[in-house]
Amino acid sequence: MKVLALNSSLRQDGESRTELMLTHLVKGMRDAGAEVEVVNLREKEINYCMGCFSCDTITPGQCIIQDDMSRELYPKWLASDLCIYATPLFHWTMNAPMKAFIERTWPVMQPFFVKSDNGRWVHPPRHESPKAVVLSVAGFSEDWIFASLSNYANFLWGRNGKLVAEIYRPGAMFMTSLDPEKLADILGATEQAGRELAMENRVLPETLARAQQPVADLETVAKAANMFWQTCIDEGVNPKAFNERIRIPRPHSLEDYLFLMQLAFSAKNAGDAKAIVQFEFTGEVTGDCHIVVDNGKMQTNIGKAAQPNAIFRAPFELWMDIASGKANAIQMFMAGKCSAEGDLPLLMRMSQWFGLSPS
Ligand SMILES: Cc1cc2nc3c(=O)[nH]c(=O)nc-3n(C[C@H](O)[C@H](O)[C@H](O)COP(=O)(O)O)c2cc1C
């Protein structure tokens, strides 16, 4: 099976969730023996269709615009058995580079109007075109957000039996940061979808359900997302710079701090650790809270604990600087800006229980 896989995201350097999903889908397809070429549309010169209809009249089947589309991509597309259209969801549909590509496939049709078997009027094809898989990722977390794109895909490719599968990944912006185990399952299922496509020309419903599973409940995603965006705004950084330099959203209350702790807690990393750690904050946010870690589970509470194993005292904003790597914990202890009592080695180990990765 010859496959052309188009990626229309303009984000790169590991930022693009479209690319992440497509990479796994393609891996599965290649594992199952498909011959797949991946094309990043951002690297190609694809001008807009001008609507001149020269491809219908003067040069039938051939676009007169000289660019990468007419020279390279259109012939590749025609020669493929299957095309994967992988696009970020922009304004509830495919993004502009993908739409530009699709518009430039106009020469595949003849301009005449003919009545099809179902009584609808269509343009007759000039050539056989490849079957289609649509892959899309989005910021919002609910399934219905792909309704418009799906409607279009079904209109374009579904009516003539060319649409083989639709794979939609909601909540993609935060899929890499909230739950590493779910992320692994989602990406594993996407690879499995690739194998199924290559071997059976379809994706099983259970595979699709795994690839599209929620990463967290909607309230949790929204809260984490809002803290992330507020931190970006406060620090004057975009998501790329946040991931490189800041990494942890900045809380402004004890509740938000504990919410983040809960989100970042890794049962796997904590193992069989058992501890009660109390935080006593001054400054911007004054108050006490504590965490109770016991056999891979963590509870968080506002207020003091009855019998903490360790107590940590610091101005809230300083502790957030330490947590986000802006300040060095040891230097701050040496300078007397924060203090601790109780099981100090426990405090050193504690950081390993948390692994909030960038968005
Ligand atoms: C201009 C623009 C429009 C967007 N429109 C939507 C939208 O309609 N619905 C949605 O859920 N997310 C929307 N998003 C979020 C993107 O789908 C999300 O950031 C996705 O991860 C981008 O894909 P990429 O990471 O492969 O570039 C939009 C983002 C941008 C920049």
Domain chopping of the chain, boundaries: 2-211, 254-353
Closest Cα partner for 288 from 317, 255, 260, 320?
Answer: 255
CATH of region 2-211, choose from 3.40.50.880, 3.40.50.360, 1.10.357.10, 3.40.50.300: 3.40.50.360
Residue 172 Cα: closest atom of ligand 1: 21
Measured CA to CA, the distance from residue 187 to residue 23 in angstroms comes to 9
pLDDT for the residue numbered 359: 40
Distance separating alpha carbons of residues 133 and 196, to the nearest angstrom: 12
CA quadruple 208, 209, 212, 214: dihedral, nearest 10 = -170
Taking alpha carbons only, the member of 31, 15, 17 closest to residue 211 is 17
254-353: in CATH 3.30.1050.10 = yes
CA of 170 to the centre of ligand 1 (A): 10
Q: Is the CB of 9 under 6 A from ligand 1?
A: yes
pLDDT (0 to 100) of residue 326: 84
Q: Report the nearest-CA residue for atom 24 of ligand 1.
A: 16
**Burial of 345 by CB count in 10 Å (0-12 exposed, 13-18 middle, 19+ buried)?**
exposed
Exposure b/e, 242-253, CB count within 10 A at least 16 = b:
bbeebbbbbbbe
Residues 292 and 290: their CA atoms lie apart, in Å, by 7
Percent of the chain that is helix, strand, coil (3-state, to 5): 40, 20, 35
Reference 42, options 73, 86, 11; nearest CA is 11
Tell me how far apart the alpha carbons of residues 231 and 239 are, in angstroms, rounded to a whole number.
10
| Amino acid 358: pLDDT | 39
| CA atoms of 189 and 234, how far apart (whole Å) | 37
Handedness of CA 216, 222, 225, 231 (dihedral sign): negative
- Residue identifier of the C-alpha nearest atom 28 of ligand 1: 90
Determine the length of the chain.
359
pLDDT computed for residue 302 by the predictor: 97
Q: Which residues lie closer than 8 Å to 328 by C-beta, 6 or more apart?
A: 322
- Cα separation, 238 vs 119, in Å, equals 52
DSSP letter at 9 equals -
Alpha-carbon distance of 157 to 150, in angstroms, equals 10
Choosing from 89, 144, 169 the residue with most ligand 1 atoms within 8 A of its CB, the one to mutate for a pocket test is: 89
Q: From the CB of 173, is ligand 1 less than 6 Å away?
A: yes
Kindly give the confidence (pLDDT) of every residue in the chain, 359 residues in length, as a single tens digit, with 9 standing for 90 and above.
Answer: 999 999 999 999 999 999 999 999 999 999 999 999 999 999 999 999 999 999 999 999 999 999 999 999 999 999 999 999 999 999 999 999 999 999 999 999 999 999 998 899 999 999 999 999 999 999 999 999 999 999 999 999 998 899 999 999 999 988 988 888 899 999 999 999 999 999 999 999 999 999 999 999 999 999 999 999 999 999 999 999 998 888 889 999 999 999 999 998 988 889 999 999 999 999 999 999 999 999 999 999 999 999 999 999 999 999 998 887 789 988 999 999 999 999 989 888 888 888 654 34
Q: How far is the CA of 261 from the centre of ligand 1 (A)?
A: 27
Residue 239 alpha carbon to ligand 1 centre in Å: 13
- Residue-level pLDDT at 356: 53
Cα 30 from chain centre: 22
